[in-house]
Amino acid sequence: MPVIGRYHILEELYRGSESRVCRARNAENGQLVILKICQDQALVNGGLARYKNELIAIQAIAGNSVVRCLGLEQVAGAIMLVFEDTGAQSLHDVMAGGALPLGQALRYAARIAAGLNDIHAAHVIHKDINPHNIVVNDASGDLTIIDFGASSRLSREQQTIVAPNVLAGTLTYISPEQTGRMNRAIDYRCDFYSFGATL
């Protein structure tokens, strides 16, 4: 079983070009956690700033509709965010079994909308709402929005226009203004567009 600092890696949940996400156990207290690890050494310096921004965005949001971050750690040259593990699975995995019953889909939609309300009330724009970044725990009924790596804190007075060569988010779900090809500023409405594409 691989070890990073005090964490025993149990399984890898996701691997991307910039990070990997693993389920792990804290050897000191036995707590199950999710680790988001910056895996590319060339990105470690930039990764620290991005991970700090992600942590700040999550901590600014009130309510229980977003993932709970336990901290940012640097261990043996690795930078990682440590999250509470609720045992949930992604909405993508839930929907892989086929279409959701209407009642269940409506309950999920209402919870996602409530989560977006909490996020936007903190002046945070998620910018990557999609079925992979929404996790559900059917046993507890909890639905949580995760992965604030692309998020930003903006007010309407500070909107920015994105360069066409810079995409933040999952292409299938991002709003047209996030592509940078519309010459329009990104605001909270991009999350609503992605929410609609997710449904």
Range of the domain at 41: 3-84
CATH code of residue 33 = 3.30.200.20
pLDDT tens profile 3-44: 999 999 999 998 887 889 999 999 999 999 999 998 766 565
Q: Band of the pLDDT at 157, cuts 50, 70, 90?
A: very low
Q: Distance between CA atoms of 23 and 85, rounded to whole angstroms?
A: 8
Residues 93 and 156 in one domain: yes
Tell me if 170 sits within 8 A of 107, measured CB to CB: no
Look at residues 84, 99, 129 and tell me which one is the last residue of a structural domain. Answer: 84
Instruction: Give how many domains the chain has, as a whole number.
Output: 2
More confident residue, 168 or 185: 185
Number of helices followed by number of strands (H, E) in the chain: 4, 11
